[in-house]
Structure 1
Amino acid sequence: MIPSILSKDTIVALSTAAGHGAIAVIRLSGPEAISIVQSVFKGKNLQKQASHTLHFGTIRDAEKILDEVVVTLFKGPNSYTKEDVVEVSCHGSPYITEQLLKLFLRQGARLAEAGEFTKRAFLNGQFDLAQAEAVADLIASDSALTHQVAMKQMRGGFSQEIKALRAQLIHFASMIELELDFSEEDVEFADRSALRRLISSLQRLITDLLQSFEMGNVLKNGVPTVIAGKPNAGKSTLLNALLNEEKAIVSEIPGTTRDVIEDEAMIGGIRFRFIDTAGLRETLDTVEAIGVARTKEQLQKAALVLYLFDVTSTTPAQLQEELDALNLPAVPYLLLGNKKDLATPEQLGSFGSFENLVYLSAGKKEGLEDLKKELLEQVNANEAITGDRTIVTNLRHYQSLQQTSDTLIEVLQGLDSGLTGDWLAADIRRCLYYLGQITGEITTDDLLDNIFTKFCIGK
């Protein structure tokens, strides 16, 4: 458990976004938070009021009224930071907030560092490190899914799984270390076969968490989706249709798109980063050739490929040749038969042997819903939406889990080779160390600084 480290100083910061607005909120936390505000507040005596109450009054600099405000009290330990916290809601004028901040600083507060409120909450045992990081993810969430994942982690879902893993390992580590105290009597407290079963079980759980990181990365950063195909297949038209705006220039002249055009669209709670590319063909035009080369580079980095072809002018044999020449990397892909509104039933039926095929008309925006459904299926979105599975979204957590997995393999190898108890205990302790880094049971100042300085001021 993280020890409570109540700070001796009081911090202050603007917690709402800078700029003009209807209201702004200035937050103070620390032992003098209430007395500092009381010293400039004209209204009820805040120090005599109950926690979780609101009070109307004015903030004054000597006799000058700076603003009419509402003061909210949160007395420790029943507050976000477990310290006394005061939130001053004032009018959202940059001038007013600046004057209030300067006034509170003169009364003895200091400006908070980035993420210092949440850092204090962590250090005071309000929540663990994984939950603290989820606060930043919650603020940054821009879809129902990213909000859902961040909320679950902030409420301790991921942390509970990690703590359960650590508790089981701690038990076996203590049993093995107990054996060392009775080494001369040749007793065995830790059942080696039970330890092997436990490690196998832990490996399955950790593997599942590691595999979820791919989905977590998709939720957090978006799916890089490359739209590729021959010139005039309708790639730019499709991009415009998906974005519902004229992002790319559309022309009947082949080779119009010569550079990578990228934009994002939210589909079913998943952010897709659509990348329109130059048409794939042999060309003597120097600029267009550069565009084709960039298309091939994007294909190598894509998480999903949409290969568009004109169903009215392409035969199944030609499509197969294009796919063979394309040499798609080992990523999911969809074949999009464009201009279905102009195709004959015979043309549409001739591509029946191809899998992952969607017919559409990008120009008339027909078939887009079918395409969106297929896009979500390709990234397994339904599992993230409806399942109760824990999703790893943080690279730091992923790395710690990978290190844990690697060390568990070493423990198994040690069991196979008959490694002595002291060496087994050391390897298990390393596993505990890596898992402890996730929740903050094992921390360093550098680690905390690296995490909390990425937070916004006031949080």
Structure 2
Amino acid sequence: MAALPPALSDTIVALSTPPGAGAIALVRLSGAAAISLTDAVFSGKTLAEQPSHTLHYGTIRDESRIIDEVVVSLFRAPNSYTREDVVEISCHGSDYIVQQLLLLFTRHGARLAEAGEFTKRAFLNGAFDLAQAEAVADLIAADSQLSHQVAMQQMRGGFSRELKDLRARLVQFAALLELELDFGEEDVEFADRSGLLVLLTEVRGLVQRLLRSFELGNVIKNGVTTVIAGRPNAGKSTLLNALLNEERAIVSEVAGTTRDLIEDEVSLDGIRFRFVDTAGLRDTTDLVESIGVERTLKRVQQAAIILYLFDLTDTTPAALQAQIDDLQLPSSTPVLAIGNKLDVASEEEIAAFRARPNTVLIAASRGDGLDELRQVLLSRVRGEGLDRAGSSTIVTNLRHARSLESAALALDAVLAGISSGTGTELLAADLRQALAALGEITGEISSDDLLTSIFTQFCIGK
């Protein structure tokens, strides 16, 4: 392994648990001097003489002053998270104690870690690849069953293995094309063009499948933005409160009560939905309400799903469709029409909408029909493939999706070149570009700027 840059050869220290008072805090050191630095201030066993993966009780002292009673965890290189010597000190969760420990170690020669530096060292030392490193951040941020499941699968190398298999299959043909360039004057073909065409078509299909999964992955990672829109007094705020099971929005018989966006999240069967209550859609001369309506119209354009709420007692099917059409939504945005006030509507009013597609009838104030609405929402999202999230690779990272797009374009160029009889040099160049794009995902090809951009998004201490 090549020598690390000076900054990465330092011994680093950081708090690895959230800041603030708590029962326990964990201070982590990593680097060649991690054990000796700790030995210099630890009163207990001599850590330099202890085996890896052991725990030791003692005190941390600043000369004769005891800072805290601690438990020290010892991990020797290369069997640690960073592949370096790592010491983790569990102390009492006092801000003062933590600051005293950090000051003590920096005085003895350690450097405060930068954001994500422990994970960056793990990557640079070969503990895992770049896609797995990014999955660590996703795992920390996971707040639903599915986002945790996908992040764990990627951190354990599922996505990386699939990419490495794709690259390995292309590298062999790329090598043969490069060989042809070495024998350009001989006019020979080492790479069977028909075999390359079959392989490229298959690999292109796999890349496209991964790209298609990004829309699903984005839902898993960021949740489903679900906007509740409709005319004033349709019951939007009542529906939001019922879905969240709390009084989040003010409910009033006065039209135009909601004048700004109110949003909150709830998990439905492991899928995170972000519900957004909006101002009622109508023409108004009230300046504040008109701003709310304008914000509503902007937000519906950004929604993943629209719940268009209407009053069963004063809306006809034709009027409902006209109101939805007025939103001028992208054709790809799904709209569920939600007929409210089922408890006071007449049989004729109910019958007018009972058979309408993509329509659910509810009584938001009593909770009638909400279970059906939740199931419709879940089935709509699962219809995009969420149930396969644990059994196949799902792309959740925008950087990965962009690299896959670049790879797909390069593969298209190779396929077109084979069909048109393009020369070996151009085919080889396009194939190298495809390999480079795939390699950027796992970090086989990376730049310092890219690594800095990725790891500065991590928390300090990870």
TM-score by length of 1: 0.96
After superposition, the C-alpha distances for 1:192-214 in whole angstroms (9 at most, x for unaligned) are 11111212111211111111111
Give CA deviations for 1:309-330 in whole Å, capped at 9, x if unaligned: 1123323333233334444332
Deviations along 1:197-238, whole A, 9 cap, x unmatched?
A: 212111211111111111211222222211111221111110
Determine whether 1:349 maps to 2:351. yes
2:276 is matched by which residue type in structure 1? I
- Separation in 2 of the partners of 1:129 and 1:106? 33
Task: Indicate whether 1:289 and 2:290 are aligned.
Answer: yes
Is 2:456 the partner of 1:442?
Answer: no
Q: How big is each residue's C-alpha offset from its partner over 1:423-447, in whole Å with a ceiling of 9 and x where there is no partner?
A: 1111111111111110000011111
User: Quick check: 1:370 aligned with 2:380?
Assistant: no
2:385 is paired with a residue whose SS is helix
Is 1:35 the counterpart of 2:36? The answer is yes
Provide the secondary structure at the position in 2 that maps to 1:26: strand
Instruction: Give 2:165's aligned residue.
Output: 164
Change in 2 beyond 3 A, CA 1:3/1:142: farther
2:181–2:425 Cα contact (<8 Å) kept: yes
Structure-2 separation of matches of 1:103 and 1:312 = 71
Greater displacement, 281-290 / 250-259: 281-290
Distance between the aligned counterparts of 1:421 and 1:44, measured in 2? 66
Q: Which runs of 5+ in 1 are unaligned?
A: none
**Residue equivalent to 1:407:** 410
C-alpha distance in 2 between matches for 1:8 and 1:320? 65
Q: Which amino acid aligns with 1:11?
A: I
Which residue of structure 1 aligns with residue 60 of structure 2?
Answer: 59
Distance 1:202 1:239 in 2: 45
How far did residue 4 of structure 1 move? 7.3
Residues 343-394 of structure 1, C-alpha deviations (whole Å, 9 max, x = no match): 3344322224411111111111222121111112222278324441211111
Stretch moving more, 241-250 or 401-410: 241-250
- Paired AA for residue 395 in structure 1: L
Seq. identity, %: 63
Amino acid at match of 2:291: I
Q: Say if 1:4 and 1:125, in contact at 8 Å, map to a contact too.
A: no
Aligned length: 458
Residue number in structure 1 paired with 2:117: 116
C-alpha distance in structure 2 between counterparts of 1:323 and 1:99, whole Å: 61
Structure 2 counterpart of 1:221, which letter?
N
Aligned with 1:18: secondary structure?
A: coil
SS in 2 for 1:253: coil
Shift of 1:273: 1.9
Distance 2:416 2:2 in 1: 36
Aligned 8 A contact 2:216 2:385 in 1: no
Could you tell me how far 1:9 is from its partner in structure 2?
A: 2.0
Structure 2 CA distance for partners of 1:215 and 1:458, relative to 1, 3 Å: same
Q: What amino acid does structure 2 have at the position aligned with 1:431?
A: A
1:281 CA displacement: 2.4
Q: Distance in 2 between matches of 1:382 and 1:64?
A: 61
Q: What CA distance in whole angstroms lies between the structure 2 residues aligned with 1:410 and 1:266?
A: 43
Which consecutive unaligned segments of at least 5 residues does structure 2 have?
A: none
Contact persistence 2:229–2:280 (CA under 8 A): yes
Distance 1:185 1:382 in 2: 52
Aligned alpha-carbon RMSD (Å): 1.8
The one-letter code matched in structure 1 to 2:283 is E
Larger mean Cα displacement after TM superposition, 427-436 or 325-334: 325-334
Aligned match of 1:139: 140
Conserved? CA contact 1:270–1:381, under 8 Å: no
Residues 220 and 272, structure 2, Cα contact 8 Å, conserved in 1? yes
CA apart distance, 1:416: 2.1
The change in CA–CA distance for 1:27 and 1:48 in structure 2 (over 3 A counts) is same
Aligned equivalents of 2:112, 2:261: Cα separation in 1: 44
CA distance, structure 2, for counterparts of residue 40 and residue 391 of structure 1: 47
Q: Which amino acid aligns with 1:406?
A: L
- 2:366 is paired with a residue whose SS is coil
Is the contact made by 2:216 and 2:384 (CA closer than 8 Å) also made in structure 1? Answer: no
What do residues 50-74 of structure 1 show as CA deviations (whole Å, max 9, x unaligned)?
1000011111111111111111110
SS at match of 2:356: coil
* 1:282-311 Cα shifts (integer Å, max 9, x gaps): 334343333323222222221110011112
Q: 8 Å contact 1:233–1:308 — kept in the other structure? A: yes
Structure 2 residue aligned with 1:416, among 416, 419, 423? 419
